[in-house]
Structure 1
Amino acid sequence: MAKAPRRGPYICGIDAALDVVSGKWKGLILWELDTHGVRRFAELRRGLPGVSEKMLTQHLREMEVDGLVHRKVHAEVPPRVEYSLTEHGRTLNQALGPLGAWGTQRMRREGYEAVDVAET
């Protein structure tokens, strides 16, 4: 698969990292795959309430090009496609952990509550 065009050159490592995770859903896709392991498209969509099919498809393609997500197509009828994190994706998810902790602290400070995905 061809490398996705990036806007570089980058100013710093944060700039390069944010370029890869830019978009509302990419961090949540990483979290969903890390939490639940291998997922089919419909399972990912159910786990990410509010994401459109088009946006999920676009983000998964970009993340595959960036080496974060592995897409496996099973030779079955109908075809079965599964998504999982690559080692590169797992390391990015680990790096985002402190940012998530900071966000949780901010939510508490501002009085926000996390959305319970199981209820949506």
Structure 2
Amino acid sequence: MAKYLLIMRGTDESNAAMMADIERMMTRTQEFIGAAVKAGVLLAAEGLDDPATGVVVDFSGPAPVVTDGPYGETRELFGGFFLLDVASREEAVEWAKRVPAAPGSKIEVRRVPGDDEVPRI
């Protein structure tokens, strides 16, 4: 088994579409979560607060610079995640295809390396 993070990525447009029918989207999301729990693969699921409430710590210069959101150049924003423990990347992708998402959204699938894969200092 391996852990995979399904990262929900949306645009202003896809987020607006989701909010326009939020009750239906929340119902579908709860159904997805229920199916993942029943299958025994869900480790965690969280949504994120509005990007306007966040900050970015930018390490581009000699000292970190903190900038309040929202971010003028951002084309996609992370909206939340599901952490799954599945047998393969292919299985993670199949679960990602089932995530209820508004048109224009994306789900990024990333493997979480195990403790034995992290370089030791």
TM interval, shorter chain, is under 0.3
Higher relative contact order (CA 8 A, sep 6+): 2
User: Which has the larger helix fraction?
Assistant: 1
With normalisation by structure 2, the TM-score equals 0.25
